[in-house]
Structure 1
Amino acid sequence: MSWISGPLVAFDLETTGTDVETDRIVTAAVVRLGPDGTVSGERTWLLDPGVRIPEQASAIHGISTEHARAHGVPAAEAVEEIVRAVADGLGAGRPLVVMNARYDLSLLDRECRRHGVESLSERLGGVPSPVIDPLVIDKHVDKYRKGKRALHALCAHYGVALDDAHDARADAVAAARVVRRLGETHRPVGLMPLADLQALQVRAAAEQSVSLQAYLRRTTDPAAVVEPAWPLIPRRG
């Protein structure tokens, strides 16, 4: 049976910023979708990240520092629950859909380190797998398509509704529906065994990083460095 006709688990974070080494989780969602695309289970979290949420981040996801402090779960407690939920899905053999997995999974890893929580890789005994990243796959199968590749753009391209962008649950559900539609549209990917699909994404993500780095060095920043590792950026030091 192809992965596009089976259940999927989707994971998404909204955060204080874009640096996996220093930023924090504000909201999270782990959602299970059945073969027909309907939600069959879900968990969501609002965290008190323990730091101020920059106004730029609040403007995107709508969570202020004051709201997070008043209503959020302590970060260490929530991180343990989030990583356990993600590990349980992968441990049950369900593919994990993560839009821009390199960011979300790496930030979750750093939050585990920060709060003394066993990481996803430690729980699984290795790099998280199978992970399906619509961003990496779409860039691979449709390399020269013009336009943005953010989730809202992929939803528009693949005909998937996204009613509440930058809500962790809504984004997780949309990413899973996009990747299933993507697999149906590009059948060689949709029929690929999950181990092969994981290996393909590792190679594709590295190639995409090399290409972007070369472009940035040529146009804006001669010293630009784009991380090639996927789906998890290794810890430094």
Structure 2
Amino acid sequence: MNEITWCEGPLIGFDTETTGVRTDSDRIVTAALTQDAGARTWLINPGVPIPPGASAVHGITDDIAQRDGVAPEKALAEISEHLNAAAEDGTPIVAFRAGFDLTMLSYELDRHGLAQLPWDQLRVIDPSVLDKQADRFRRGKRKLENVCEHYAVSLQDWHTAEADAQAAVALARAIGRTFPDLARLAPADLHAAQVGWFAEDAASLEAFFRSKGRDETVDRRWPLSR
């Protein structure tokens, strides 16, 4: 009997929308955890102004966050509870460009005096990393909407945390079905492999920058860049 691969088993999608792109100083505004049975979403009052540019992306303004958002401590504690449970039972967490969302979450936990997750126990699957490794010479952009289009994955309400989390899970499954060698890896082995693949890709990008005279350093750490 064939074993069930990770792309056929339970997966939890995770995504955040934020006040900006600085993981060490920006704040989470919305977050979502999704499973096949449904989704849990949070609208958070970040306690700082939401820049107009960020609101234009995800649609959450200061008025909305202050009126309807919950305190960060409450939302973050609930998110941590779900992710701790996933770490304990071995359910993989799927996030597109996971380094951003998980590093942002880690800084937010510190900011609000909450315990860090058992990061060494989490099994993370990042469709962005998988796609680059499996089809590295494909031309074109590799943002979420581009990769979804390539694998014929539906993406509606883009830039809402729930929609992006659901799309990430669908992408992971599609990539696993397209590239069976990836699907056959155990989640722990796949996580470890992605650590190396991400570092290799970062080193390659850094070398490209240097070849163009740009003295830029590309962070090689995944899924936490802190």
- TM-score, normalisation: structure 2: 0.95
State the 1:128 CA deviation.
4.7
Deviations 1:38-76 (A, max 9, x none): xx0321000000111111111110111121111100112
1:165 counterpart letter in structure 2: W
Q: Which of residues 117, 132, 153 in structure 1 aligns to 2:146?
A: 153
Q: Which of residues 162, 177, 182 in structure 2 aligns to 1:169?
A: 162
Q: Which of residues 93, 115, 118 in structure 2 aligns to 1:118?
A: 115
- Corresponding residue of 1:25: 28
State the 1:233 CA deviation.
1.5
2:16 aligned with 1:13:
yes
For residues 213 and 52 of structure 2, the distance between their equivalents in structure 1, rounded to whole angstroms, comes to 27
SS at match of 1:163: coil
Q: Which of residues 90, 105, 108 in structure 2 aligns to 1:108?
A: 105
2:189 aligned with 1:228:
no
Q: For structure 2, list consecutive stretches of 5 or more residues without a partner in the other structure.
A: none
State the 1:17 CA deviation.
0.7
**Is the 2:90–2:122 Cα contact (8 Å) retained in structure 1?**
no
- Corresponding residue of 2:57: 60
For residues 213 and 156 of structure 2, the distance between their equivalents in structure 1, rounded to whole angstroms, comes to 35
For residues 137 and 95 of structure 1, the distance between their equivalents in structure 2, rounded to whole angstroms, comes to 14
For residues 129 and 82 of structure 1, the distance between their equivalents in structure 2, rounded to whole angstroms, comes to 14
Change (3 A) 1:220 1:176: farther
**Is the 1:21–1:107 Cα contact (8 Å) retained in structure 2?**
yes
For residues 152 and 72 of structure 2, the distance between their equivalents in structure 1, rounded to whole angstroms, comes to 36
**Is the 1:31–1:173 Cα contact (8 Å) retained in structure 2?**
yes
State the 1:82 CA deviation.
1.3
Quote the RMSD (CA, aligned, Å): 1.2
1:190 counterpart letter in structure 2: A
SS at match of 1:149: coil
Q: What does 1:122-201 correspond to in 2, within 5 Å?
A: 124=118, 126-201=119-194
Runs of 4+ deviating beyond 3 Å: none
2:78 counterpart letter in structure 1: E
State the 1:91 CA deviation.
1.9
State the 1:220 CA deviation.
6.3
- TM-score, normalisation: structure 1: 0.91
For residues 95 and 146 of structure 2, the distance between their equivalents in structure 1, rounded to whole angstroms, comes to 16
For residues 84 and 145 of structure 2, the distance between their equivalents in structure 1, rounded to whole angstroms, comes to 27
- How many corresponding residue pairs? 223
Change (3 A) 1:68 1:10: same
Deviations 1:162-197 (A, max 9, x none): 011001000000100011000000110011111211
- Corresponding residue of 1:48: 45
For residues 153 and 100 of structure 2, the distance between their equivalents in structure 1, rounded to whole angstroms, comes to 23
For residues 140 and 224 of structure 2, the distance between their equivalents in structure 1, rounded to whole angstroms, comes to 26
SS at match of 2:35: strand
**Is the 1:128–1:231 Cα contact (8 Å) retained in structure 2?**
no
- Corresponding residue of 2:74: 77
